[in-house]
Amino acid sequence: MAENDTYQTPLASRYASKEMKTIFSARTRSTTWRKLWIWLAEAEKELGIDISDEAIAQMKANVVMTDNCFKVAADEEKKRRHDVMAHVYAFGQVAPAAAGIIHLGATSCYCTDNGDLISIRDALDLILPKLATVIHKLSQFALEYKDMPTLGYTHYQPAQLITVGRRAAQWVQDLLMDLEDIERTRNDLRFRGAQGTTGTQASFMEVFHNDRAKIDKLNEIICAKAGFPSCYPISTQTYSRKVDLRVANALSSLGTTVQRITGDIRHLAAQKEMEEPFEKDQIGSSAMAYKRNPMRCERIASLGRHLANLNKNAGDTYAQQWFERTLDDSAIRRITIQRCS
């Protein structure tokens, strides 16, 4: 079916950056799972499990998920009704020497949860410098116009004189709060690691014959390979969905801030105090060509409104998790995590 004959999410087709779409692409997600399996096998081999060099070499040679592997995995998932095991099978087809040790001791969440944490971290690492650039440029604007008088408003009624720079400085301060919250959330991220079925490491206790020190070392090695300082001290079958809520809250707060800022700019545009750039061939209105609509701010406000409300999904998902895990988090997380970023 041609691209224009099937639904495409506007978030991806119109608004998301190429870099962000790559982070959350099916190929990146599946390739990350393969990296996780390689790291697990390397760590297990280092700790004495009988895994051949050829097995690891074949895995590394086929780490990138190909289109053919996607087809193999899709066909297998139709039979097994299990996406992770379908991908284990597809990986084993191209790395036959490793087929018996791929995913050894692990659960599905070893791939899915650790993979999501990597994606979230990488997405926040993409957002933070972009937000810092916005703050820097807006700070320069505030300094440039720090002495230009303008009318201040309270209750949206004329009040007292302020300056253009003073108003912009307020925007900068609010964005700095968001930057600090997002950076703190990013730096607080930890890995789930290899925790077994319900977080007890029972399956790895079998693999390592009840040697808990080796399991601790296993997680230390995997964390280092993935670029995380450590694992969360306690995980169930999943990492706590409170983590997703913290990320969503930080990003939702940014959504409210950009609505606030663009709302001011849109009002100022109506009063002809501030305008967006207007390109040479841009059309302001199909019926009123003279108009200079603040379409960039309107777009930002619209996306900010969507972003500001996504933490509700994350909060409900966290609240609805029963005991050590339920799968009703799966579909909503596949949608919400990407849209928050």
Instruction: Report, as residue numbers or ranges, the catalytic residues.
Output: 155, 285
A 10 A CB-CB count for 188 gives 10
Q: Are 140 and 171 in contact (CB under 8 A)?
A: no
Q: Maximum Cα–Cα distance for the chain, whole Å?
A: 77
A 10 A CB-CB count for 289 gives 8
DSSP 13: I
* Sequence-distant contacts of 134-142: CB under 8 A, at least 24 apart: 134/175, 135/172, 135/175, 135/176, 135/179, 138/168, 138/171, 138/172, 138/175, 139/169, 139/172, 141/165, 141/168, 142/166, 142/168, 142/169, 142/171, 142/172
DSSP 256: H
Q: Tell which residue, 201, 193, 197, 200, has the closest CA to residue 229.
A: 193
In the chain, the DSSP E strands lie at: 149-154, 157-163
Reading the block at residue 156, the tokens are: 């949206």
Distance from the Cα of residue 74 to its chain's centroid: 24
Q: Which amino acid is at 321?
A: Q
Reading the block at residue 289, the tokens are: 């060509």
